């Protein structure tokens, strides 16, 4: 598999794994230095906002605590479309830009609604072990998320 294909598959796999709530599997896709953020821009206060920010240990802690909280149990589905893969061979890194749409499906009846749209800005390290997520910025266009969600996108 060529590097570009492997990177594209990694990004898509990260969404599918999170859809299954396989959090260990998700963390296995991440490099040790992994940084995760959810960001957006508020036209109302004319400021960039960071809504969630964790390193790999912080993400693990977030996942480990989920079962202790009262959460919306509706499954969500992340539809990711990889648009750009800019490979820097010298740095053994790629910058990947994808679009993401998140849908939420009710448990009672299975009605699906669009939950959020945005972009993923990922940095991917590629070494001998294959590509790994080095950082992810989920840049949301959607800011009205109703009662929100406990699980990151």
Partner 1 sequence: MSRNAVEWKQTPSFPESHYVDTRIYTEEDIFLDEQRKIFNKCWIIACHESEIPNAYDYRTFSHPGGPPLIVIRGEDMQVRTFYNICPHRGNTLLYEPVGNAKRITCIFHAWSFNATGDCIDISRGKEGYQDRFGCKDAGLREVKTELGFGGFVWVNVDDDSCTLKEYIGEAMGMLDEHLNEPLEVFHYHKAIVNTNYKLWHDTNSEFYHDYMHYFNRITGMIQPGYFDRKYTGYPNGHASVGSMAIKYDAYEGSKARGVGWPGLAPGGWVLIDIFPGMTYNLRTSVLRMDTAIPLGPNKLLIEFRGLGLKRDTPEERAERIRDHNMIWGPFGRNLHEDLLGVHGQGLAMRERTDSKWVIHGREENMTIHDEGGMRHFYAEWSRRMGRKAYDPYGEQAAVAK
- List the Cα angle 49/142/59 in 5-degree steps: 60
Q: How far apart are the first and last CA of the chain?
A: 27
Q: Toward partner 1, which CB reaches closer, 70 or 128? A: 70
- The site for partner 1 (CB under 8 A) is made up of 38, 42-47, 49-53, 57-58, 61-62, 64-65, 68-72, 143-150, 152
Residue number with CB closer to partner 1 (24 or 69): 69
Nearest approach in angstroms of CB 143 to partner 1 is: 6
Asked if 120 contacts 139 with a C-beta cutoff of 8 angstroms, the reply is yes
Q: Which is nearer to partner 1, 53 or 113 (CB)?
A: 53
User: Measured from the CB of residue 54, what is the shortest distance to partner 1 in angstroms?
Assistant: 9
Asked whether 7 and 124 are in contact (CB, 8 A), the reply is yes
Minimum distance from residue 76 beta carbon to partner 1 (Å): 12
Matching residue, tokens 């992994």? 34
Instruction: Centre a 10 Å sphere on the Cβ of residue 1 and count the other Cβ atoms it contains.
Output: 10
CA distance 21 to 134: 20
Judged by beta carbon, residue 42 or residue 81, the one nearer partner 1 is 42
**Shortest distance, position 65 Cβ to partner 1, whole Å:** 6
């Amino acid at each position: 598999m060529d590097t570009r294909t492997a990177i594209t598959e990694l990004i898509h796999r990260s969404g599918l794994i999170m859809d299954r709530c396989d959090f260990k599997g998700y963390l296995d896709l991440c490099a040790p230095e992994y940084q995760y953020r959810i960001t957006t821009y508020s036209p109302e206060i004319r400021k960039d906002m960071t809504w969630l920010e964790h390193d790999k240990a912080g993400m693990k802690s977030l996942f480990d605590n989920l079962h202790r909280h009262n959460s919306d149990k509706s499954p969500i589905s992340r539809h990711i479309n990889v648009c750009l893969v800019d490979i820097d061979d010298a740095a053994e890194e790629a910058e990947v830009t994808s679009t993401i749409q998140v849908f939420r499906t009710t448990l009672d009846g299975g009605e699906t609604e669009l939950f959020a749209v945005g972009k993923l800005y990922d940095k991917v390290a590629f070494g001998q072990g294959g590509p790994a997520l080095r950082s992810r910025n989920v840049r949301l266009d959607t800011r009205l998320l109703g009662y929100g969600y406990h699980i990151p996108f």
